[in-house]
């Protein structure tokens, strides 16, 4: 049986009793709390690190984002670890600076605040509108208040039209403070004063009409072009240098009366026009002349008597002068065997060839022919006061062919032939040639377009340039002239001062002498076509010339006829060097070929293709019309474009020295004779 407990045996605990118990425990709890606090403080003091915080400005307010910290003036006690300082001061941007406290006992932190931008009031005298640049950045128009300029040392520049730039170094305090700058502008002009005689002329400054003379005008500093224009007078033009603030007084400028002009015609046209010592081209020509004096007009034309006449012109008016030239005649006596041969002179049929003819004293093409005989062509120039006599014996066609063949067999060696004039020609089988220069290579010119040409037909190419003596077998009175007092007329020098058309006439003449079919079709003194199936002589094509200018064994292809080194090795060819007579051209340094002008052909070592003077001596006509941008598609036996204004010229000359000119790919054009331009010949091997 369980014991029963009587509730009455226990007395309840009253609130008063509880209070007595709590009061008895409080000292103990306080003691424990205080002891814990002391221990924690000792632990913090022993483990904390001292951080000395220095600020700019010094009175900045610093707070530390940390739950356990002690601030003692500029020093903070904190535990090692990551903390965040916040710094603020009036007039400065707030700074939040994360800082990692290390185990070092004493540490230092320097915290600088960035001043807020400042403002600058600009006052300009005299008052004008301009633009301000601070540290080369535009801050807008002035005068006025320029806002938000970063504090610190700044370079300011104020630009106002027609005034010198104002430049100053500024110390901007920032902190929202507004400062002031007074700018005194200095004019960038000077006053130009002038008048004209007569007055009332229009004054132009840098092409702008200012007004009529007399005139005073503020001209900006620097080099300035001024003009005076007045109807009936020549324009007066002068460049002046203006210095700001320095006045220019040009006084009275006398204006000259305007030129008059005269249109000069002649019958026949094409006469050379000279007025005084000045050359004005050929008739018809319009010439401007001074109205204040008389002028002597002279007309000259080969085969006609010179004529002169004095003229005067009226200011600003145009007159006409027409003169008739009187032929200058001379006799040519032609004696031909067989006697019944017929004759053409300049393409006109003249009947029987045995006769005395009177002709103007300029070159004429004589063609003498008879059935069964080889046609004979030659150029004859009658001379005043001299009766020329020509004895001509036509060769039978069979005899002419046999004679030419015998000569070739006698002179030729395998792969070579010799022409009637003695030129040695070498046989080449052709192949593929890449013309031009790649765009990324040194010295490339815009017209050196890269393109491929395949030379399918074997061809002969003369090993040397045509000489004066060889060309004079065709045209006996040809004159290559001189340059700088040095002769270009020696027999073994390359022919020069020869036109492209004269070169092809020579080719046709040589074809006839060697019994070959003519390549060029010429009628009435003009080229009207070519016979691409002919085996007669012709000028080389540009592709053939460049193909043979590059040594075959070089891979990649060489840049120059001798290889790829520049400047060329000594004795490579005849170029512009220290012995050259032309003072106007740039010359190769430390190169001496010993020739002041053109050298005898073959004077230098031959190329790997057994050719001479492919670099230097004379530049050379080639067959092709010139085109600045040739087609890039692959072509076969390319003869150039079918028409054009000028003909292509290949190769350098004794006037050449630059890297660009000496390259095998160098190409230019001409439509006139030159003292350094000749040619060599080629023909198809058919």
- The DSSP letter of residue 403 is H
Residue length of the chain:
686
Decide: 62 and 86 in contact? Cβ < 8 Å. yes
Long-range contacts of residues 92-100, Cβ cutoff 8 Å, at least 24 apart: 92/57, 92/60, 92/116, 92/175, 99/51
Decide: 287 and 278 in contact? Cβ < 8 Å. no
> 189-254 architecture in CATH?
Sandwich (2.60)
pLDDT band (50, 70, 90) for residue 441: confident
* pLDDT value of residue 25: 59
pLDDT band (50, 70, 90) for residue 72: confident
What CATH code is assigned to 329-394?
2.60.40.1120
Q: Decide: residue 575, CB within 10 A, 0-12 exposed, 13-18 middle, 19+ buried.
A: buried
Q: What is the pTM of this model?
A: 0.45
* pLDDT value of residue 5: 44
Structure-token pair, residue 157: 């520049």
d(CA 365, CA 289): 39
d(CA 448, CA 592): 29
Where is 75: in which H helix or E strand?
Answer: strand 75-78
* pLDDT value of residue 1: 41
pLDDT digits (tens, 9 = 90+) for 352-381: 999 999 999 888 899 999 988 888 888 888
Residue 615 pLDDT > 90:
yes
* pLDDT value of residue 379: 84
Comparing 205-209, 292-296, 399-403, 627-631, the range with the smallest average pLDDT is: 399-403
Residue 254 pLDDT > 70:
yes
Long-range contacts of residues 474-479, Cβ cutoff 8 Å, at least 24 apart: 474/378, 474/379, 474/421, 474/505, 474/506, 474/509, 474/510, 475/363, 475/379, 475/502, 475/506, 477/381
d(CA 348, CA 342): 11
Q: Where in the chain is the domain with CATH 3.90.1580.10?
A: 415-684
Distance of CA 367 to the CA centre of its chain: 49
Residue 535 pLDDT > 80:
yes
Residue 582 pLDDT > 80:
no
Across all residues in the chain, what is the average pLDDT? 89
* pLDDT value of residue 7: 46
d(CA 436, CA 49): 80
What CATH code is assigned to 260-324?
2.60.40.1120
pLDDT band (50, 70, 90) for residue 662: very high
d(CA 13, CA 22): 13
Q: Where in the chain is the domain with CATH 2.60.40.1120?
A: 118-184, 189-254, 260-324, 329-394
d(CA 429, CA 423): 19
pLDDT band (50, 70, 90) for residue 584: low
Comparing 7-16, 227-236, 439-448, 658-667, the range with the smallest average pLDDT is: 7-16
Distance of CA 404 to the CA centre of its chain: 51
pLDDT band (50, 70, 90) for residue 459: very high
Decide: 534 and 525 in contact? Cβ < 8 Å. no
d(CA 536, CA 504): 11
* pLDDT value of residue 10: 45
What CATH code is assigned to 415-684?
3.90.1580.10
pLDDT band (50, 70, 90) for residue 23: low
* pLDDT value of residue 2: 43
Within 10 Å of residue 300's Cβ, how many Cβ atoms? 16
* pLDDT value of residue 590: 86
The residues, ordered by sequence, that sit 6+ positions from 151 with a Cβ below 8 Å of its Cβ are 114, 115, 116, 117, 118, 172, 173, 174, 175
Residue 3 pLDDT > 50:
no
* pLDDT value of residue 579: 78
Structure-token pair, residue 338: 């067989």
pLDDT digits (tens, 9 = 90+) for 298-357: 998 878 889 999 999 998 899 999 999 998 888 999 999 999 999 999 889 999 999 999
* pLDDT value of residue 272: 86
Sign of the four-CA dihedral 448, 451, 452, 458: negative
What CATH code is assigned to 118-184?
2.60.40.1120
Task: Give one DSSP letter per residue of 233-297, joined into a string.
Answer: BPPEEEEEEE-TT--EEEEEEEPPBPPEEEEEEEESS--EEEETTEEEEESSEEEEE-TTS-EEE
The residues, ordered by sequence, that sit 6+ positions from 98 with a Cβ below 8 Å of its Cβ are 82, 83, 84, 85
* pLDDT value of residue 140: 93
pLDDT digits (tens, 9 = 90+) for 538-581: 999 999 999 999 876 556 778 999 988 999 999 899 999 887 76
Query: E-strand spans in 160-259?
Result: 166-172, 178-184, 189-197, 202-205, 208-212, 215-220, 222-229, 236-242, 248-254
Residue 527 pLDDT > 60:
yes
pLDDT digits (tens, 9 = 90+) for 43-59: 877 788 889 999 999 99
Sign of the four-CA dihedral 471, 476, 478, 483: positive
Within 10 Å of residue 508's Cβ, how many Cβ atoms? 22
């Amino acid at each position: 049986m369980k014991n029963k407990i009587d509730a009455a045996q226990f007395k309840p605990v009253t609130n008063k009793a509880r209070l007595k118990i709590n009061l008895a425990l409080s000292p103990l709890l306080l003691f424990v709390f205080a002891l814990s606090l002391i221990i924690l403080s000792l632990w913090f003091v022993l483990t904390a690190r001292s951080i000395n915080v220095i600020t700019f400005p010094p009175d900045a307010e610093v707070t530390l984002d940390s739950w356990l910290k002690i601030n003692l003036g500029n020093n903070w006690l904190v535990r090692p670890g990551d903390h965040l300082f916040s710094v603020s001061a009036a007039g400065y941007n707030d700074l939040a600076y994360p800082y990692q406290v290390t185990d070092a006992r004493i540490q230092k932190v320097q915290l600088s605040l960035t001043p807020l931008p400042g403002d600058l009031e600009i006052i300009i005298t005299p008052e004008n509108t301009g633009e301000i640049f601070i540290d080369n950045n535009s801050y807008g128009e002035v005068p006025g208040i320029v806002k938000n300029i970063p504090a610190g040392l700044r370079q300011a520049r104020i630009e106002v039209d027609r005034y010198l730039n104002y430049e100053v170094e500024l110390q901007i305090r920032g902190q929202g403070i507004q400062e002031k700058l007074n700018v005194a502008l200095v004019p960038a002009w000077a006053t130009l004063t002038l008048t004209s005689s007569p007055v009332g002329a229009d004054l132009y400054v840098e092409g702008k009409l200012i007004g009529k003379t007399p005139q005073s005008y503020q001209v900006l500093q620097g080099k300035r072009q001024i003009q005076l224009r007045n109807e009936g007078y020549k324009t007066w033009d002068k460049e002046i240098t203006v210095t700001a603030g320095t006045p220019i007084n040009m006084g009275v400028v006398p204006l000259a009366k305007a030129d008059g002009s005269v249109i000069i015609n002649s019958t026949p046209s094409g006469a050379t026009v000279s007025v005084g010592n000045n050359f004005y081209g050929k008739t018809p020509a319009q010439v401007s002349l001074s109205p204040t004096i008389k002028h002597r007009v002279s007309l000259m034309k080969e085969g006609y008597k010179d004529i002169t006449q004095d003229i005067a012109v009226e200011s600003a008016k145009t007159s006409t002068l027409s003169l008739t030239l009187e032929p200058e005649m001379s006799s040519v006596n032609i004696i031909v065997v067989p006697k019944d041969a017929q004759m053409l002179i300049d393409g006109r049929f003249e009947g029987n060839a045995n006769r005395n003819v009177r002709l103007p004293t300029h070159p004429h093409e004589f063609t003498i022919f008879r059935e069964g005989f080889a046609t004979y062509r030659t150029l004859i120039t009658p001379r005043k006061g001299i009766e020329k006599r020509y004895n001509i014996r036509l060769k039978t066609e069979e005899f002419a062919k046999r004679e030419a063949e015998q000569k070739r067999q006698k002179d030729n060696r395998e792969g070579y032939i010799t022409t009637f004039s003695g030129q040695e020609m070498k046989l080449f089988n052709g192949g593929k040639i890449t013309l031009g220069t790649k765009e990324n290579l040194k010295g490339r010119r815009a017209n050196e377009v890269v393109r491929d040409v395949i030379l399918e037909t074997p061809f002969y190419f003369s090993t040397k340039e045509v000489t004066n003596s060889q060309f004079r077998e065709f045209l006996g009175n040809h004159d290559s002239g001189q340059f700088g007092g040095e002769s270009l007329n020696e027999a073994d020098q390359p022919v020069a001062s020869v036109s492209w058309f004269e070169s092809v006439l020579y080719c046709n003449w040589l074809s006839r002498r060697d019994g070959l079919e003519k390549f060029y079709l010429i009628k009435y003194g003009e080229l009207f076509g070519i016979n691409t199936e002919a085996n007669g002589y012709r000028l080389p094509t540009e592709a053939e010339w460049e193909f043979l200018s590059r040594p075959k064994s070089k891979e990649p292809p060489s840049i120059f006829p001798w290889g790829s080194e520049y400047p060329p090795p000594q004795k490579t060819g005849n170029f512009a060097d220290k012995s050259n007579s032309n003072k106007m051209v740039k010359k190769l340094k430390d190169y001496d070929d010993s020739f002041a002008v053109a050298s005898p052909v073959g004077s230098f070592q031959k190329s790997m293709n057994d050719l001479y003077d492919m670099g230097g001596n004379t530049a050379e006509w080639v067959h092709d019309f010139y085109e600045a941008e040739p087609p890039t598609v692959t072509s076969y036996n390319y003869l150039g474009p079918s028409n054009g204004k000028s003909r292509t010229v290949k190769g350098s000359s004794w006037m050449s020295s630059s890297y660009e000119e000496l390259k095998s790919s160098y190409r230019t054009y001409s439509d006139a004779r030159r003292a350094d331009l000749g040619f060599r010949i080629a023909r198809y091997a058919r």
